[in-house]
Amino acid sequence: MLFVLGVLVVVVGVALSIALHEIGHLVPAKKFGVKVTQYMVGFGPTIWSRKRGETEYGIKAVPLGGYVRMIGMLPPRPGDKPGELRTLSTGRFSQMVDQARADSMEEVRPGDEDRVFYKLSPGKKIIIMLGGPVMNLLIAAVLLTGVITIYGLPQVAPKVGLLSACVPTAAPTLQVPQPACAAGDPQSPAAAAGLKVGDRIVSVDGRSITSWDEVSAAIRESQGRTMSWVVQRGDQQVPISLTPAVLERATYGEDNKPVAQDGKIVLSSMGFAGITPAQELVRTPIYEAPKFVWDRTVDTASIIVRIPEKMAGVMQAAFGSGERDPNGPISVVGVGRIGGEVAALDIPADEGGNWLKLAQLVLLIASLNLALFVFNLVPLLPLDGGHVAGAMWEAVKKGWARLRHRPDPGYVDVAKGLPIAYGMSLVLITMSVLLIYADIVKPINIFG
């Protein structure tokens, strides 16, 4: 039941995000006088609609997208009179473009000639087409800011989370870079020193501690020297004498993978105490929220840029024995499944309980909106970024003509980009089908 509830929360979140995205197009379009005939959330058969004024508002059966239909999105072919189209083109793509122009002009009724999209100034076109992606960015910013400032995010704290039972004495290998405990291994230094789960580390050798990195560095560099710790245990401060073991352990590169040389793992000498740090919820000051949103946006953009590479990994995982990249792309099916798994988690009340699950669901929807924002900015039709690119090129041409005192070059013929749009649509459909298949047969496991 909780799994289904989580899926429903994600589905509603996706539908609302799409609806608000389309409102981002609808409002400025109406503001600038463009005639909008339809505002639809979803695709497929219409399950509900109602007409208000000149616009039909509705919901369709498949909530995986939406659209706002504005008249005159495509200009007449150069040389044609507005409202008239020649039908002399040959070639499949030319005929498809002419048909698209004809379909665009069919909605232009007498009196609507100055309410078409293509006659807008480039600046107004850009505002309308950016309205949808910017709405997704605003949704993500509001949700992320709310979570990090009101609820907080888990951060590693200078606090004992888990204690290792022993000092693993087995030698690390490329196959097993972090050996587990075995029978006969000595007790871990942390357990021998009397540390307990929940102890907060106040100082090490007289130096105040504010982060786990400081504790980790002190242990790593101890070289077997006995250290004097002070920990907060309840309402008492308890002195602890801890002598880390000195072990040969694997070194890791920037990709978090063990470093190897000549087929052998590279080892380095370091201290070992046997402590896994705890995590605590830390609220972020609201003035730091813009930077947090920016960082998440950059992270999302880096994933979008690498989609071709990552899709190859998805294909290998879906049809082979490879594992899915937890930071790779997923479909709406995958997002819904993750939402269900989050809702079904058994989290004790003292560790966050239902509030933590709700925060994770909100973060999931925020991440989806960031992905919609970045992806729609790709400057290729049929994405919003393709129309923005066309309007920007039109602005450049008009501006250059004015500087040179030349006649107005007219509207940029975005219809010439329709073959690219058809190709992109085919690519997007193929990617969606592959991701949905992969999310069914080889889903990403983010919970271990």
Q: What is the dihedral of CA 113, 114, 119, 121, to 10 degrees?
A: 180
Domains of the chain (ranges; CATH) run 1-152+284-448 (no CATH), 154-282 (2.30.42.10)
For 198-352, strand residue ranges (E) read: 200-204, 207-208, 227-233, 236-242, 245-250, 260-261, 264-265, 267-272, 275-282
Q: Could you tell me what percent of the chain has a pLDDT over 70? A: 90
- The contacts of residue 31 (CB under 8 Å, 6+ apart) are none
CA–CA separation, 34 vs 38, rounded Å?
Answer: 12
Q: Which amino acid is at 391?
A: A
The confidence score (pLDDT) of residue 124 equals 93
- Give the pLDDT band (50/70/90) at residue 430: confident
For range 170-190, the mean pLDDT: 77
Most distant CA pair in the chain: distance in Å?
Answer: 91
The confidence score (pLDDT) of residue 447 equals 57
- Give the pLDDT band (50/70/90) at residue 294: very high
- Give the pLDDT band (50/70/90) at residue 95: low
Q: Could you tell me what percent of the chain has a pLDDT over 90? A: 22
Which of 102-106, 126-130, 194-198 is least confident? 102-106
Most confident range (mean pLDDT) of 50-54, 63-67, 90-94 is 50-54
pLDDT of residue 20 exceeding 90, the answer is yes
For range 229-239, the mean pLDDT: 91
pLDDT of residue 175 exceeding 50, the answer is yes
The confidence score (pLDDT) of residue 88 equals 45
The confidence score (pLDDT) of residue 255 equals 64
For range 199-208, the mean pLDDT: 91
The confidence score (pLDDT) of residue 228 equals 92
Average confidence score pLDDT of the chain? 83
For range 50-71, the mean pLDDT: 87
End-to-end CA, the chain: 22
For range 321-329, the mean pLDDT: 75
The confidence score (pLDDT) of residue 91 equals 53
Exactly one of 22, 214, 341, 394 is catalytic; name it.
22
The confidence score (pLDDT) of residue 341 equals 79
More confident residue, 323 or 366: 366
The confidence score (pLDDT) of residue 24 equals 95
The confidence score (pLDDT) of residue 424 equals 79
More confident residue, 192 or 255: 192
- Give the pLDDT band (50/70/90) at residue 305: confident
Short-list 387, 432, 435, 437, CA closest to 412: 387
- Please give the helix or strand (H or E) that residue 24 lies within, else none: helix 2-31
For range 277-294, the mean pLDDT: 89
More confident residue, 310 or 213: 213
CA–CA separation, 166 vs 245, rounded Å?
Answer: 11
pLDDT of residue 373 exceeding 60, the answer is yes
Active site includes 22? yes
The confidence score (pLDDT) of residue 144 equals 94
